């Protein structure tokens, strides 16, 4: 009887031991599963963190590239603006330089105007006429081209001395200065005018020691007034009429 009881106890103890082992194994499996789950979750978290970090890095890189591109564009715009301003300033300087050069050339042309008058045989047609009112100071020799003129009043008459040829004139009388040839040059070599001319003087009277005349200048070519005046001295106060 005692042996039977001892055998049952041993079997019960073995069953308890096996059950304990089974429970221990179950706990170990659960522990391993928990560890595996935690490890997996940890890996997932690490992957998520790495992914987030990579996304942040990409975003930062995009921002850096965008900033670089914006800076490059701004630099190019500034350079274009500088080149445009520089080009505009250079163009303005060129225009001003050309204008200044033109002014210098014009001034030099006027300063170097030269009139050469020579005697010629009459006969050239002179269809162009320019009229002036002039006055000669009495007793003073005035030169028109290569002609020397001196006038002097005498008892209601005016004595005109043209190249030594004296003639008394009354109001309304005309005296002709014979045909001449005038060549006007500038800058020493440039010919501006080559024309034949003749002058008619109509006596208008004397006042304040000056003898007044209507002067008609006949030319073989149309002559601008500013060139024609190169023949006329300031002393006679020529005024177009």
Per-residue pLDDT tens over the stretch 184-193:
988 878 888 8
More confident residue, 95 or 121: 121
pLDDT in tens, 18-72: 887 888 888 888 888 878 877 777 666 777 777 777 887 788 788 888 888 888 8
* Cα–Cα distance measured from residue 14 to residue 16, given in angstroms and rounded to the nearest whole number: 5
Q: Are residues 167 and 49 in the same domain?
A: no
Q: How far is CA 192 from CA 110, 114, 199, 217, in A?
A: 11, 10, 21, 18
pLDDT at 121 over 70: yes
Closest C-alpha to 76, from 84, 66, 64, 65: 84
97 inside domain = no
Q: Which residue range(s) make up the domain with 47?
A: 1-86
pTM here? 0.58
pLDDT at residue 83 tops 90: no
Residues 219 and 158 placed together within one structural domain of the fold: yes
The total of structural domains in the chain comes to 2
Question: Does residue 118 share a domain with residue 236?
Answer: yes
Q: What is the mean pLDDT of residues 207-218?
A: 96
pLDDT at 88: 54
Quick one: 231 and 194 in the same domain? yes
């Amino acid at each position: 009887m005692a042996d039977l009881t001892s055998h049952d106890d041993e079997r019960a103890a073995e069953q308890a031991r096996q059950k304990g082992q089974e429970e221990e194994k179950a706990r170990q499996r659960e522990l391993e599963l928990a560890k595996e789950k935690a490890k997996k979750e940890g890996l997932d978290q690490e992957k998520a963190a790495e992914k987030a970090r990579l996304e942040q890095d990409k975003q930062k890189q995009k921002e850096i590239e965008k900033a670089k591109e914006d800076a490059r564009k701004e630099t190019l715009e500034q350079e274009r603006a500088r080149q445009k301003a520089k080009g505009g300033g250079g163009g303005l300087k060129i225009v001003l330089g050309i204008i200044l050069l033109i002014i210098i050339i014009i001034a030099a042309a006027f300063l170097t105007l030269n009139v050469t008058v020579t005697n010629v045989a009459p006969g050239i047609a002179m269809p162009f006429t320019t009229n002036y009112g002039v006055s000669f100071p009495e007793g003073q020799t005035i030169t028109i081209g290569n002609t020397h003129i001196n006038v002097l009043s005498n008892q209601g008459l005016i004595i005109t001395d043209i190249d030594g040829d004296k003639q008394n004139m009354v109001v309304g009388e005309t005296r002709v200065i014979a045909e001449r040839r005038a060549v006007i040059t500038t800058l020493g070599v440039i010919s501006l005018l080559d024309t034949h001319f003749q002058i008619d003087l109509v006596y208008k009277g004397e006042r304040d020691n000056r003898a007044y005349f209507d002067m008609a200048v006949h030319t073989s070519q149309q002559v601008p007034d500013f060139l024609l005046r190169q023949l006329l001295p300031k002393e006679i106060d020529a005024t177009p009429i």
